[in-house]
Amino acid sequence: MAADVTSVNNRSLSWTAERRREDIVWEIDDVIRDVASPIIIFAGLVGNAAGTASLLRVAGLRRRGMGHLLVAICVSNAVFLASVLPTWVGGRYGRRYDLYERDGWCELLSLTTMSSNFLSTWFTVTLGGD
């Protein structure tokens, strides 16, 4: 009988420890979604705008293909981040701000997110070949 009580106690302790780990994982997920995501999005938008502005000021890069590719990468990354931002706002602040629920916005955000990601990838590949 003592062995039965011990095994039940061990099972409940392991279930409690597993539950605590799961709660910690969800708390980390909430912190990433609520704090890190907007910081990354806004820092990326500011960085891409600054990168584009500085690349356009350099006269030598404006005439070369590499300069065009670097500007194109900055612009496509900024478009990607700008199209991810409404998704985060809708998830954070609820249906009232969710653009995916409005006519036409789902298609537009999906198109801009996927195409800018595609273009950024291939601009980077082309830059590597240049």
Over its length of 130 residues, how does the chain's per-residue pLDDT go in tens digits? 555 545 545 555 565 666 777 888 888 888 888 888 889 999 999 999 999 999 888 877 767 788 889 999 999 999 999 998 888 887 777 767 777 777 888 889 889 999 999 999 999 999 888 7
* Predicted TM-score (pTM) of this structure: 0.74
- If DSSP codes are grouped into helix, strand and coil, which group holds residue 99? helix
DSSP states along 82-104 = HHHHHHHHHHHH-GGG-GGGSTT
Question: Looking at the domain assignment, is residue 10 inside a domain?
Answer: no
Count: domains in the chain: 1
- Domain containing 73 equals 36-129
d(CA 55, CA 74): 10
d(CA 100, CA 96): 10
Question: Looking at the domain assignment, is residue 6 inside a domain?
Answer: no
Question: Looking at the domain assignment, is residue 65 inside a domain?
Answer: yes
Nearest-CA neighbor of 72 among 61, 84, 83, 86?
Answer: 61
